[in-house]
Amino acid sequence: MTDNNSHSGTDSSTEPTVETDGGVRTEEYLDKEINIFKPATPFMRDHLKVIWASFLAWILVVFGPVTGALLAPEVFAETTVLGGFPLHFVLTAIFTPLGALVLSVAYAMQRDRLDTRYGISHEGASEVAESDTVAADGGD
């Protein structure tokens, strides 16, 4: 599949790959190795970009406040907000779960957008899937 290789060179950010390898030809995907560090198909590459970006944001949200309280206690533990909360306390108790929720929504929407770009519809999935319905309007 030499055409795949030429893609990976050029597919930086805009409108990748849909037009030529037509998104959803299962046989091809069943021939490509699955390795989280070596995505072998355009769809995997795009999907993993979303995954890694949101994963990094999640690490900040989850471990940021407690690490802040360790490294800069004068900022996190001694600032009070909202009528008495120490900053690290309210960040950890309320905003970390909220941040994870917001990131989840963002990921799920981004993944839906990816589906649209690759012409994937789960609505008709209970019928036999129509594998040649590539989105004509191509994503976002």
Partner 1 sequence: MSGRFLFGDILVSDVVQAGLPLETALDVGAFKLVPALTVVAMLALFLGVGYVFRVAAVDELWVAGRSIGSIENGMAIGANWMSAASYLGVASLVAVSGYFGLAYVVGWTTGYFILLIFMAAQFRRFGKYTAPDFVGDRFYSDWARGIAAFTTLAIAFTYAIGQASGMGLMAQYIFGISYEMGVIVLMAVTIGYVALSGMLGTTKNMAIQYVILIIAFTLGLYATGWTEGWATALPYLEFGSEVAEAASIEAQFVEPFAEAGYYAWIALAFSLIVGTCGLPHVLVRFYTVDNERTARWSTVWGLFFICLLYWGTATYAAWGGLLYDREVTDGGGFSGMSGAESDALVVLTTQLADLPEWLVGLVAAGAVAAALATTAGLFISASSAAAHDIYTNLYKQDATQREQLIVGRLTIVGIGILVALIGLNPPALIGELVAMSFAIAGTVFFPVFFLGLWWENTTQEGAIAGMLTGIVLSFGAILNDTAIPMYTGYEDHVNATLATWLPGTSSALLGVPIVFAVIILVSVVTTAPPDEVKRLVRQCHSPEPMARTESAEDAAGSGAPADD
- Cβ 8 to partner 1, closest distance in Å? 17
Helix axes 42-71, 2-10, angle to 10 degrees: 40
Nearer to partner 1, 16 or 23 (CB): 23
Cβ(25)–Cβ(62) below 8 Å: no
- If one asks whether residue 24 binds partner 1 (CB under 8 A), the answer comes out as yes
- If one asks whether residue 16 binds partner 1 (CB under 8 A), the answer comes out as no
Exposure on the CB side of residue 132, measured as CA atoms within 13 A: 0
Residues of this chain that interact with partner 1 (CB under 8 A) are 23-27, 29-36, 43-44, 47, 50-51, 54-55, 58, 61-63, 66-67, 69-70, 73, 76-77, 80-86, 88-90, 92-94, 96-101, 103-105, 107-108, 111-112, 115, 118, 120-122, 124-129, 131
